Amino acid sequence: MQSLTNRKKVVSDKPMTLMEKIYIPAIVGGMWITFKHLMRRGNTVKYPEQIRPFAPVYRGMHVLKRDEKGRENCTACGLCAVACPAEAITMTAAERKKGEEHLFREEKYAAVYEINMLRCIFCGLCEEACPKEAIFLTDRLVPTEFHRDEFIYGKDQLVELVDNRIDITKRQHTGKRTK
């Protein structure tokens, strides 16, 4: 069959010639190749000082959004947990009491909302499933921890702060899907 790539090499086990048996020319050739690399520097990114730009559609750590008045969007419908292929999301719903209107947008809210970051595969299906625009993936990285239970993120780590909003527009406004 004709080769498509034209890179095919025919392997043969013919005995080595005398020149090959001496090894030294081949060794010198190899050492010349490595020597040429001696002064060349590659694409090293010195990480903490120099951060490689993320792709606009990068899927990193989740955020639970608040609306413009600072109320949580999530109504604990559970669609994200159903959509999650890795079974990473759990939640407990609760009813909004009188006087909590400034905290939660609708009558039902998530009292507990946990994502296990060790199970999560960052596929973004939760984001697509969410009818309330509550959960989004961001370009933030999940930091390393020493213990497994520290990777189960609760609401304290997931919900954005009122005075420290997380920008999600970059990821949401590129590509075909726009909201």
Partner 1 sequence: MDLAFIIEKTTLIVIIFLLSLVIAAYSTYFERKVAAWFQDRIGPDRAGPFGLLQPIADGVKMFMKEDFIPKHADKWLFIIGPGITIFVALIPSIIIPWGPPLEMFGRKIALQVTNFDFGILFIFGALSVGVYGIMIGGWASNNKYSLFGAVRASSQMISYELAMGLSAITIIMMTGSLDLNEIVAKQHGMNWNVFYQPVCFVIFFTCALAETNRAPFDLPECDSELIGGYHTEYSSMKLGLYLFSEYVSIFISSALIAVLFFGGFNFPGMDYFTGNTLAIIGLLVFFTKISFFIFVFMWIRWTLPRFRFDQLMHLGWKTLIPVSIVNLLITGLVIALYEGWFWSN
Residues contributing to the site for partner 1 (CB under 8 A): 24, 27, 30-31, 33-35, 37-44, 46
CB of 82 to partner 1, least distance (A): 46
For 94, the enclosing helix (H) or strand (E) is strand 89-95
Determine whether 66 is exposed, middle or buried from the number of CB atoms within 10 Å of its CB (0-12, 13-18, 19+). buried
Count of C-beta atoms within a 10 Å radius of residue 93 = 15
Least distance between partner 1 and beta carbon 19 (Å): 14
Nearer to partner 1, 31 or 112 (CB): 31
The CB-of-144 to partner 1 minimum distance in angstroms stands at 17
Q: In the complex with partner 1, which residue's Cβ is closer, 10 or 24?
A: 24
Least Å distance between CB 48 and partner 1?
Answer: 10
Q: What angle do CA 53, 115, 132 make, to 5 degrees?
A: 85
Q: Are 81 and 91 in contact (CB under 8 A)?
A: yes
Tokens for 88, please give them.
């990473």
